[in-house]
Amino acid sequence: MRTPLFAAFLLLASFGLHGSPSAKPASSDSAAPPELAISSLVRGNTATMKVGNLLAMRHDREVWYAYSLDGPGPSQHRVGHCGVMAIDLDAAITVLGSSPVAAGDTGTFIHFDVPRRAPLGHPVWFQAIDLDNCALTNNVVEKIQ
């Protein structure tokens, strides 16, 4: 059940988009999935979500970031041209934003503000998707500090 603090968290979550600096290219035979990492969620501070291990492509593309306050899922969602995918987030998903991935890069990141009034200790589940390859990252959970 969502409380007014959850609503405040959803309304106040703002983000700044920044493409990553060039990362070292992955080998073309790499089958490892993209990896998501997130910095600590400290109330009133900026957090960072990073996606690495992306396949190096010859063209620019985007990675989209999402979170759920309700749990890790799974749930089924239509994701653009990727069709219906099993996302490792509860059905109450909020898209946080996207970041560009330049041709040849294998990583990217996004910054976002953690609201000052976010509920202490509440877990937040995160996942990202490389829309070009329809590749999901791992699911990461962090508690608000």
Residue 74 has pLDDT above 70, yes or no: yes
User: Which pTM value belongs to this model?
Assistant: 0.78
Residues 6+ apart with CB under 8 A from 104: 22, 25, 56, 57, 58
Note down the domain range covering 131: 4-143
Number of domains in the chain: 1
CATH number of the CATH domain containing 98: 2.60.40
Q: Looking at 4-18, 19-33, 92-106, 109-123, which range is the least confident one?
A: 4-18
Q: Looking at 9-18, 74-83, 109-118, which range is the least confident one?
A: 9-18
| CB half-sphere exposure, 100, CA atoms < 13 A | 9
Distance from C-alpha of 65 to C-alpha of 138, rounded to nearest angstrom? 12
| Averaged confidence pLDDT in the chain | 82
